[in-house]
Amino acid sequence: MSTLSSLSTALNSAMSALKASQAGLSVASNNIANVNTPGYSRQRIMLQEAPTIGDTISVGTGVHILGTEAIRDQLIERRIWNETSGKSASDLTHQSLTDIENLFNEAGNTGLLPLISNFYNSFQKLSTNPSSPELRQQVISSATALTQSINSRANELRDMRTSIDRSIGEDVSKANILIGQIAEVSKQIHEAEATEPANDLRDQRTSLIKKLSEVMNVKELDSNGTYQLTTGNGRPLVIAGTAIPLAVGTSSGGLTTVLSGPHDITSEFSSGTLAARVALRDQTIPKYQQSLDQLAFDLATQVNQLHSVSYDQDGNTGTNFFNPIAAVPGAALSLQVNSVVAADPRKIAAASQPGGTDNEAAIALGNLVNATNPPRGTITDQYRGLVFQIGSETASVQVDFNQHESTLTQLENMRASLSGVSIDEETASILQFQRAYQASARVITTIDQLLQVTLAMGTAGA
Partner 1 sequence: MRITDDSNYRNLLLDIQRIAERMQNAQSQVSSGKRLNRPSDDASASADVVSIDAERATNAQYLDNAASAQSRLEVADNALDGVQLVIERIRSLGQLAQSGNTPSATSTYEINQLRDQILSAANTVFEGQSIFAGSKTDGAAYVKAGNGTVSYSGDSMVTKLQTGRATSIQSQIPGDQIFSGSIDIFQTITDLMNAINTGDKAGIQTGVTNLGTLSQTVSSVRTQVGGLINSAAAAQSDLRQTELTQVAQLSRLRDADLSRALSDFSQSQIALQAATAVGARVSSISLLDYLK
66 vs 395, which CB is nearer to partner 1? 395
Please tell me whether residue 116 binds partner 1 under the rule CB under 8 A.
yes
User: Number of C-alpha atoms within 13 angstroms, CB side, residue 400?
Assistant: 20
The rounded distance, in Å, linking the Cα atoms of 76 and 65 is 29
Dist. CA 72–CA 326, nearest whole Å? 63
Q: Are 258 and 273 in contact (CB under 8 A)?
A: no
Q: Is 347 in the site for partner 1 (CB under 8 A)?
A: no
Query: Considering only residues 61, 105, 228, 407, which one is a binding residue for partner 1 as defined by CB under 8 A?
Result: 105
Classified as helix, coil or strand, 216 is coil
Q: Which stretch binds partner 1 (CB under 8 A): 83-91, 102-110, 171-179, 336-344?
A: 102-110
Q: Are 429 and 24 in contact (CB under 8 A)?
A: yes
- HSE-up (13 A, CA, CB side) for residue 155: 8
The nearest distance, CB 58 to partner 1, in angstroms, is 38
Smallest CA-to-CA distance from 9 within 45, 39, 54 is with: 54
Residue 53 touches partner 1, criterion: CB under 8 A: no
Binding residues among 396-425 for partner 1 as defined by CB under 8 A: 398, 405-406, 409, 412-413, 416-418, 420-425
Among 105-113, 192-200, 274-282, 320-328, the segment contacting partner 1 (CB under 8 A): 105-113
Question: How many whole angstroms separate alpha carbon 159 and alpha carbon 149?
Answer: 15
**Residue 102, interface with partner 1 (CB under 8 A)?**
yes
Among 101, 156, 282, 344, contact with partner 1 (rule: CB under 8 A): 101
CA 318 to chain CA centroid, Å, is 54
Nearer to partner 1, 173 or 396 (CB): 396
Report the C-alpha gap between 177 and 179 in whole angstroms.
Answer: 5
User: Taking the complex as a whole, how short is the minimal distance between the CB of residue 427 and partner 1, in angstroms?
Assistant: 5
Residue of 49, 106, 191, 193 interacting with partner 1 (CB under 8 A): 106
**In degrees rounded to 5, what are phi and psi of residue 53?**
-130, 175
Given the rule CB under 8 A, which of 52-60, 174-182, 263-271, 361-369 is the region that contacts partner 1? Answer: 361-369
For partner 1, which is the closer residue by CB, 210 or 235?
210
Q: Which residues contact 460 (CB under 8 A, 6 or more apart)?
A: none
At its nearest, how many Å lie between partner 1 and the CB of residue 218? 23
Binding of partner 1 by 30 (CB under 8 A) = no
Considering beta carbons, is residue 107 or 460 the nearer one to partner 1?
107
Query: What are the start-end ranges of the E strands in 387-438?
Result: none
Q: Does 383 bind partner 1 (CB under 8 A)?
A: yes
Q: Is 319 in the site for partner 1 (CB under 8 A)?
A: no
Task: Quote the DSSP letter at residue 311.
Answer: B
Query: Judged by CB under 8 A, which of 155, 226, 305, 357 binds partner 1?
Result: 357
Rule CB under 8 A: choose which of 128, 372, 438, 454 binds partner 1: 128
Does 36 interact with partner 1 (rule: CB under 8 A)? yes
β partners of residue 347:
none
Choice between 230 and 432, CB closer to partner 1: 432
* DSSP line for 258-289: EEETTEE-TTT--SSHHHHHHHIIIIIHHHHH
Nearer to partner 1, 130 or 232 (CB): 130
3-state DSSP percent of the chain in helix, strand and coil, to 5: 65, 10, 25
- What's the farthest any 2 CA atoms get from each other in the chain? 149
Per CB under 8 A, the list member of 22, 117, 290, 301 interacting with partner 1 is 117
Q: How far is the CA of 364 from the CAs of 192, 347, 370, 430, in angstroms?
A: 83, 16, 10, 89
Tell me which residue of 70, 71, 87 sits closest to 79, measured CA to CA: 87
Select the residue interacting with partner 1 from 15, 363, 439, 444 (CB under 8 A).
363
Q: Does 375 bind partner 1 (CB under 8 A)?
A: no
For residues 320 and 304, is the Cβ–Cβ distance under 8 A?
A: yes
Shorter beta-carbon distance to partner 1: residue 259 or 364? 364
Site residues, partner 1 (CB under 8 A): 35-36, 97-98, 101-102, 104-107, 113-114, 116-118, 120-121, 124-125, 127-132, 351, 353, 355, 357-359, 363, 366-367, 369-370, 380-381, 383-385, 387-395, 398, 405-406, 409, 412-413, 416-418, 420-425, 427-428, 431
